[in-house]
A and B are shown apart, each in its own frame.
Chain A
Amino acid sequence: MKIVNTLIAAALAAAVLPAQADTVTPVTDQSWNQFFFADSGSAWLDDFAFNSPGVQSFTFTLSGPAALKVADAGLAGDVFQVYDNGSLLGATSQPAGSFANDAGVDFDAAFASPLWSHGQWVLGAGEHVITGVVSFSAAGAGIGALQVSPVPEPATYALLLAGLGLVSVVARRRRA
């Protein structure tokens, strides 16, 4: 995957690197990237509520398709609307859970469970600016995260499947 960064983000990243180098990870490295939010209707924020946060946006350029995953964490109940380049991608799922369910910051667990609101979309090649709004904020503030991971391309499929025994044999027969 080739990722080009916005100049300003890079400059800011460079400015803070000496102190925070161990916390910097690229948005598309399949790690979870946190965002915060306040009351219902609030945009995704770059810091905890009451810490004078700014609006959080995630900017990156993809050379091929990638999967965007968004998950609520902490207490269950929050729901997001997710935007790409200002256009609505959609809303995350209706959560089955409530305040009784606390995922902490285990975003993998939250994404995998129907208790927490989550969503997944496929992004095409090109530049993306992902933003969000919390359409229902159960506690008045919270945390969520998104993850961008590449959708394997055909050549990658072949490599993956080559090592998978019977499945790979079937696959090769069909290709032949």
Chain B
Amino acid sequence: MFKQTLLGAVLALACAAPVYAATCATPDPRPTVMIGGVDTGIANVDADGAGAGSCTLNDLLKADLPNVTWGSHAKFVAAAKSVINAVPADTLGGAQRDALIAAATASDVGNSLAVKVIAFNDFHGSFDTQSALFGVSRTGGVANMAAVIGQLKAQNPNNVVVSAGDLTGASPLASALFHDEGTIEVMNRLGLEFNAVGNHEFDAGSAELLRKQSGGCATVDVNGTPVNPATTCQGASVGTPVPFEGAKFKYLAANVFNSATGTTLFPAYKVKSFQGIPVAFIGMTLQGTPGIVTPAGVTGLQFADEADTVNALIPQLRNQGIHSVVVLIHQGGFTTGGKDDCNGLSDAIVPLLDRLSTEVDVIVSGHTHWAYNCVRPDAQRPDGRRLTSAGKYAQVVTDINLTIDTRSRDVVSTTATNVVVDPSKVTAVAGIQGIVDGYKALAAPIAGQIVGYISSDITKAQNASGESQAGDLVGDAFLASTAPADKGGAEVAFTNYGGLRGTEPVFAFSASNPNNKNAGDGKVSYDAAFTFMPFGNNLVVMDLTGADLKRALEQQFVPSASAPASCTAWNKQATAGRILQPSATLSYTWSAGRPDCDKVDGTTLKVKGVVVDPAATYRVTVNSFLATGGDGFTIFNNGTNRLGGAQDIDAQVDWWKANTSPILPYTPPALTRIIKN
């Protein structure tokens, strides 16, 4: 919209001319005029000479550093002259006037601009407070995170709130039951502006994701099943608009293309200008997204290489005069240090950074649920650039401060801190807590049901073999749901380790632990069961040959560089540690020292205590994620005679009810299904 007109200028002058008559509630108390950190020695007089309550010269000059007001030095000097010349002559003499203008002209004010980027990632609909992290005993809570964000925004008017994906999906019941509409609504109200898509944004499919952006009520789920109308557009009960308002922030998807049209599902980037200085925010998910979400969620979409995508956009940004570039990427790494370093950084983000254009100044990452923050040299930028990640679940917010040279428009330096959201240090934002409480009340009749009983905490921590208490529980629950002849006649069941969600302990004995969900000591609520298993995957029973059963287990291990082609042809596992969690009917021994694609000792591989016959057929249950080759387990694609089963959460709840009671609470068995030699 064109707004540069003479009348506009006249109006601007009309607004600018009487500034000396402005009133300041708390006039700057400093005795002398400070310009760019230099004491001019000239009295900081009331700018209109009218005495107390008026603005002083310091108030009107806005000449402090770091500069948050002026998009260029010339603008500062012009405004300073206007302010100085408007002071009555009997208040500010000619020599003082000249000295102040000279000081303004000689200063550095306006040559750089301070911009604050407030970032987080992997929120996953986390309305409630979480357990301890980084020495803070209780953390998170979205209304508390909103308060932290509000405090940060107040520090600098040039601010932007961004997210690096997985805002929704794999979320607790109060969000998930209502298609994560509540998460979008609270994000709208805490000021989120840009969210890169992550893999979980696709859990419910691209049509649903587009609805989350544009609003309206949910009608069918990712499998085409009609949704319960009571689970969508519930704004009237929580104080938000009906129909669902959609995201006020912008989803970004630079590397997600509609296969039919070749266009990106959402804009590749957005530009936000601060005092006329533009900063680009490029958003994307990991290229490997299709391998870790349910195939129906990514139908018709293609995912491009992350670094290539960014680098291809750089000429376009430069051609628009943009030299400050922030990448929001749902891909990350792991570190060995604390929240504000990148010591021992490893995993997928590392080679990616080495390929990113030098124009990229800040990388806000995610996906690994890890917190780190540093200026890190890489192959393209030996001088280093800012890399951050804020963990997960609203427990941490990254406060990033950019210093941008207003002449080159480039980021010249950054500082950043990972701020732990500590509920004891802030006042929760009432408007956001109200929405959260509204959704929790709607979900309460379901969430509060006691479904099971435990005698101690249950953990998902893996032993050296890769087995876990929580994984055993799920394997057994999946088998119990599908073992009856009319339910598939399953003999063995698996879940993927990454499907075990929630923070530790995943089932908390003590009511004082937030993960107990206020169920009471030793009780398991539906809420806790859902938090542990929020994906809504269905069970699938299939025929698998004994040979394929062993090959599926071999796909747990990444082939070495010297692995023969006969191995790598079918085992393309790229991520270590993906040990399938089996039912009690399966056992085996594996060793890292055995050959590639034969890590599992076939003589020890048993189903129901009998050594597996490669030529025999076994009925195997997995969730729909694994059934379609998720996490690199492509062997499950070979399964035949498929039969769909219950939803995973229903199978789990049924298992709790059938196998536990107040007098016979669940005690996890010893971890003996998988042995590592």
Query: Once the chains are docked, how many angstroms separate the CA of A175 from the CA of B258?
Result: 71
User: Per-residue CB proximity of B317-337 to A under 8 Å, as 1/0?
Assistant: 011111100000000000000
Given A50-B268, A50-B269, A58-B2, the answer on whether A141 and B8 have CB atoms closer than 8 Å is: no
Residue of chain A at shortest CB distance from B276: A23
Residue of chain A at shortest CB distance from B320: A143
Write out the residue numbers on chain B whose beta carbons fall within 8 Å of the beta carbon of A142.
Answer: 316, 319-320
Residue of A5, A18, A21, A102 near B6 (CB, 8 A) is A5
Are A26 and B319 interface neighbours, CB within 8 A?
A: no
Residues 1-24 of B contacting A (Cβ, < 8 Å): 1-9, 11-12, 15-16
Is A27 located at the chain interface by the 8 A CB criterion?
A: yes
Write out the residue numbers on chain A whose beta carbons fall within 8 Å of the beta carbon of B1.
Answer: 12, 46, 54
Q: Looking at the complex, which of A70-78, A120-128, A153-161, A162-170 is the stretch in contact with chain B? A: A70-78
User: Per-residue CB proximity of A106-133 to B under 8 Å, as 1/0?
Assistant: 0000000000000000000000000000
User: Per-residue CB proximity of A89-119 to B under 8 Å, as 1/0?
Assistant: 0000000000100101100000000000000
Residue of chain B at shortest CB distance from A52: B267
Are A26 and B316 interface neighbours, CB within 8 A?
A: no
Is A28 located at the chain interface by the 8 A CB criterion?
A: yes
Is A25 located at the chain interface by the 8 A CB criterion?
A: yes
Determine which residue in B1, B15, B79, B269 has the highest number of CB atoms from chain A within 10 A of its CB, and name it.
B1
Given A22-B75, A105-B409, the answer on whether A74 and B6 have CB atoms closer than 8 Å is: no
User: Per-residue CB proximity of A132-147 to B under 8 Å, as 1/0?
Assistant: 0000001111110000
Q: Chain B's nearest CB lies how many Å from the CB of A142?
A: 4
Residues 1-54 of A contacting B (Cβ, < 8 Å): 3-6, 9-10, 12-14, 16-18, 20-29, 33, 36, 46-51, 54
Write out the residue numbers on chain A whose beta carbons fall within 8 Å of the beta carbon of B7.
Answer: 5, 9-10, 13-14
Write out the residue numbers on chain A whose beta carbons fall within 8 Å of the beta carbon of B11.
Answer: 13-14, 17, 21, 24
Q: Chain A's nearest CB lies how many Å from the CB of B322?
A: 7
Residue of B12, B269, B278 near A24 (CB, 8 A) is B12
B interface residues, tally (CB under 8 Å)? 34
Write out the residue numbers on chain B whose beta carbons fall within 8 Å of the beta carbon of A149.
Answer: none
Query: Once the chains are docked, how many angstroms separate the CA of A14 from the CA of B318?
Result: 32
Are A5 and B321 interface neighbours, CB within 8 A?
A: no
Determine which residue in A13, A46, A47, A102 has the highest number of CB atoms from chain B within 10 A of its CB, and name it.
A13
Q: Is the interface of B mostly helix, strand, loop or mixed?
A: mixed
Query: Once the chains are docked, how many angstroms separate the CA of A28 from the CA of B8?
Result: 12
Write out the residue numbers on chain B whose beta carbons fall within 8 Å of the beta carbon of A49.
Answer: 316, 320
Are A9 and B3 interface neighbours, CB within 8 A?
A: yes
Q: Chain A's nearest CB lies how many Å from the CB of B269?
A: 6
Are A24 and B319 interface neighbours, CB within 8 A?
A: no
Query: Once the chains are docked, how many angstroms separate the CA of A9 from the CA of B641?
Result: 69
Residue of A6, A21, A78 near B319 (CB, 8 A) is A78
Query: Once the chains are docked, how many angstroms separate the CA of A13 from the CA of B13?
Result: 13
Residue of A25, A48, A59 near B322 (CB, 8 A) is A48
Are A24 and B8 interface neighbours, CB within 8 A?
A: yes
Residue of B5, B12, B71, B319 near A143 (CB, 8 A) is B319
- Give 14 new A-B contacts, CB below 8 A, not counting A9-B3, A75-B315: A13-B7, A21-B12, A21-B16, A22-B12, A22-B71, A24-B9, A26-B5, A27-B4, A48-B322, A50-B267, A51-B270, A58-B2, A74-B318, A104-B321
The 5 closest A-B pairs by CB, nearest first: A13-B8, A142-B319, A74-B319, A48-B271, A5-B5
A-B contact pairs, 5 of them (CB 8 A): A5-B8, A18-B15, A22-B12, A24-B8, A60-B6
